[in-house]
């Protein structure tokens, strides 16, 4: 049986993103999202405006200033709600030592239930203010991990895929950017590995992002996210060595 990521004691995870995609709501603008934010300031005390995400087809481009992506950010920066006319994201970002886990355990909400609750609140708001309720037709789950390393040998011991680089690199610190896209069952998956820097202590790291997307029916979002979680966790375990998994699980000596 595959060990679930949520059961690992110290995974290198830094972010989880749950995305809900729906038919664009042309009347959902930043001013209306501001009204939604006004009722959530106790939880999301900060806000930002960002360019919209546009990689998927079907996004509505209007005249004038056009659509934007609104961020609602919790006081501790740990949770983010992102809203634009055709999608809704909920992010958990590591800001301490505790990963809240994806599922709900011991009465504590996991990332998934938080995301579902936030999206449900948003749909109720849209129903009240716009007379229409966004219905997710596609969901996306992304998990992002930072793997800190000092040497290429140490990195390849954690990520065996790096062994393919070692024979022809001379610097010992090559720029790494790997992207693998595939289909697993009903899910479209994309795995990327790229260099990053741990800003707190300036150590080298490779960022591993595993993203899975799946079409859903009107009432299937929760089940689809749970299925995608199994897919993403399975890919995580295939990417990392057994020794690394033991270390993340707390079994390594």
Q: What is the pLDDT along the chain (253 residues), one digit of tens a residue?
A: 344 444 788 899 999 999 999 999 989 999 999 999 999 999 999 999 999 987 654 444 455 556 789 999 999 999 999 999 999 999 999 998 788 899 888 788 999 999 999 999 999 999 999 999 999 999 999 999 999 988 889 999 999 999 888 888 877 778 889 999 999 999 999 999 998 876 567 788 999 999 999 999 988 999 999 999 999 999 999 999 999 999 998 765 4
Tokens describing residue 210: 């595993």
CB 91 within 8 A of CB 102: no
- The reported pLDDT for the residue numbered 5 is 46
Please give the biggest Cα pair distance in the chain. 61
pLDDT for the residue 3: 43
Domain boundaries of the chain, sorted by first residue: 24-134, 140-249
Return d(Cα 193, Cα 208) in angstroms, integer. Answer: 5
Residues in the chain: 253
Residue 120 to residues 27, 123, 205, Cα–Cα distance (Å):
19, 5, 36
- Regarding pTM above 0.85, the answer is yes
Cα separation of 178 and 223, whole Å?
A: 30
**Dihedral over Cα of 234, 114, 118, 36: its sign:** negative
**Percent helix, strand and coil across the chain, each to the nearest 5:** 30, 30, 40
Say which residue the tokens 């998990």 belong to.
Answer: 143
pLDDT computed for residue 248 by the predictor = 92
Second CATH level (architecture) for the domain 140-249: 2-Layer Sandwich (3.30)
């Amino acid at each position: 049986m595959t060990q679930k990521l949520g059961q690992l004691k110290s995974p290198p995870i830094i972010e989880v993103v749950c995305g809900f995609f729906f038919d664009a709501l042309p009347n959902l603008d930043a001013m209306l999202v501001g009204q939604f934010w006004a009722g959530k300031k106790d939880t999301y005390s900060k806000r930002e405006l960002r360019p919209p995400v546009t990689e998927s087809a079907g996004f509505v481009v209007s005249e004038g200033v056009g659509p934007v992506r609104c961020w609602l950010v919790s006081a501790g920066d740990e949770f983010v709600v992102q809203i634009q006319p055709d999608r809704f994201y909920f992010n958990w970002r590591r800001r301490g030592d505790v990963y809240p886990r994806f599922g709900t355990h011991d009465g504590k909400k996991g990332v998934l239930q938080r995301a579902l609750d936030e999206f449900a609140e948003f749909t109720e708001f849209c129903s009240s203010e716009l007379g229409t309720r966004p219905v997710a037709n596609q969901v996306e789950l992304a998990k992002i991990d930072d793997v800190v390393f000092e040497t290429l040998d140490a990195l390849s011991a954690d990520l065996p895929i790096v062994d393919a680089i070692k024979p022809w690199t001379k610097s010992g610190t090559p720029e790494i950017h790997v992207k693998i896209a595939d289909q697993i069952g009903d899910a479209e998956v994309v795995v990327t590995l790229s260099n990053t820097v741990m800003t707190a202590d300036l150590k080298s790291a490779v960022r591993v992002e595993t993203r899975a997307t799946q079409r859903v029916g009107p009432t299937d979002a929760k089940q689809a996210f749970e299925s995608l979680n199994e897919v993403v966790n399975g890919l995580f375990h295939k990417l990392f060595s057994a020794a690394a998994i033991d270390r993340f699980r707390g079994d390594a000596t």
